[in-house]
Chains A and B, each alone.
Chain A
Amino acid sequence: MTMWIGRRDLLLTGAALVLAAAIGASPAFAEDAEASAFLKTFAEQMAAVVNGPGDTNAKGQALTPLIDTNVDVATIARFCLGRFWNGASPAQQARYVTVFHKVMLNNIRGHLGEYQGVSFDMTGTRPQGDDVVVGTIINRPNQPPANVGWVVSRGTGSPKVVDVVAEGASLRLQQRDDYASYLRQHGNNIDALITALERQVSGG
């Protein structure tokens, strides 16, 4: 009898241990449901605008509020300036963030506005530091399907997109390399960079 109880206890302890290990280990393997749901909603809203009626301009107008609510533009702006952010004066920082916001809207509109019949499939999530990468495959007509990862951060309290990784290439890193190269060729002059961006936004 004692023997039996002993064995049962052992079994229970074993089961509890397995369960605890499973629960403890699960965050590493589990899907990040919140990030995934957030991105799915955002992507569906964007796809609805892109595939909907209206010309490129009208679609651009409709995309703007979506981007402003779901993308952490300030964090991306800061990342893209890299080591030059700390060297910039508060006035330069403000001017830069303002123009960066416009540049980003222009680029996204340019990338999405002219497509019709865009669809996407969710492929799962994986952690990246404190953030989560939500994987998608984007299908566009007459184009090969593209692997696109959306880096979702909760740095501001609610989930927001802070980077887009297309076929393994981070677009904010590409932007930072672009700006760094421009700055290097213009004597690390932040005002020159801001002016160039303003010129680009105004279509000059």
Chain B
Amino acid sequence: MTMGALKSATAMVPPLVLALALGGCATKPPASDADAVADYEQTNDPIEPTNRVFYKIDDALDTYTLKPIAQGYVYITPEPVRTGIHNLLSNLSSPVLFANDVAQAHPRHAGDTFMRFLINSTVGVVGVFDVAKSMGYKAHGTDFGVTLGVWGVGEGPYLYLPFLGPGSPRSVTGFAADQALDPFTWVPHGYELKTMNWARFGMTAIDTRSRLLGDLDKIKATALDPYASIRSLYRQHVQSQVDEAKQPEKLTPPSWQAP
């Protein structure tokens, strides 16, 4: 759920994590309690006390800033406009998606992404309308964290990061790689382009949060320990993405070719 995505903030994160990590480590249960040790290993959250601090900060920031903004956005913006903005943002991330499709050796997905970018950028008016979907080129998503998983890189311990939310060393590395793969990162720093990049990151955060409004808030309301529930859901979701990406591609004939 790498939302937020504020570039300069991410640069501050590693030293901050390191500093707090040294301050707060989970105590490993004694070896005599085999069940508790098994739980500890399976949870793989050695800096849990630190992560919980970040979770609390992030939760408060969310409650008082991002969530009300997302609610306001849903309230004032009609659904078709929101879908258009979502499509536009998805279209902008096509180059990164294409690179990951190739890196995962998924030629069909890469072909879909290429055609979607081509069709939606032109016929779809810079990506606002998802015309390609009706032509049989369906949307999919992946990121470099998943690509690393496909390559056999382990996830590593759980991390909860400000602005980025739940993650792992693998997902953070993947996030940095995705930024590096993004052509918009490397455009010359003219004033308008810089503004556009910031607007894009801000809009992505609001769009992502607005699409999670119902679900994330219900999880927080019904869990006894929302931190542990989000950790569980995040881990399972990422694992299922990696498992799916490891599968050989299914045949995806365009709709006009289907029997």
Residues on A lying within 8 angstroms of B by beta carbon are 83, 106-107, 110-111, 142-144, 167-170, 173-175, 177-182, 184-185, 193, 196-197, 200
Contact = CB atoms under 8 A, between A and B. Distances in A.
12 contacts: A110-B221, A142-B74, A142-B79, A167-B237, A168-B239, A168-B241, A168-B243, A169-B233, A178-B229, A182-B225, A185-B225, A200-B224
A181 B237 contact: no
Interface in B171-209: none
B15 interface: no
Interface of B: 35-36, 39, 43, 74, 79, 211, 214, 218, 221-225, 227-229, 231-233, 236-237, 239-241, 243-244
A168 to B, nearest CB: 2
Nearest to A83: B35
Contacts of B240: 167-169
Give the interface SS of chain A, mostly helix, strand, loop or mixed.
Answer: helix
A12 to B, nearest CB: 31
A200 B220 CA distance: 13
Nearest to B29: A184
Nearest to A87: B35
Contacts of A110: 218, 221-222
Interface centre among A168, A175, A178 (most CB of B within 10 A): A178
Given A184-B39, A197-B224, A170 B236 contact: yes
Given A110-B218, A168-B241, A184-B39, A174 B236 contact: yes
Nearest to B230: A174
Contacts of B39: 180, 184
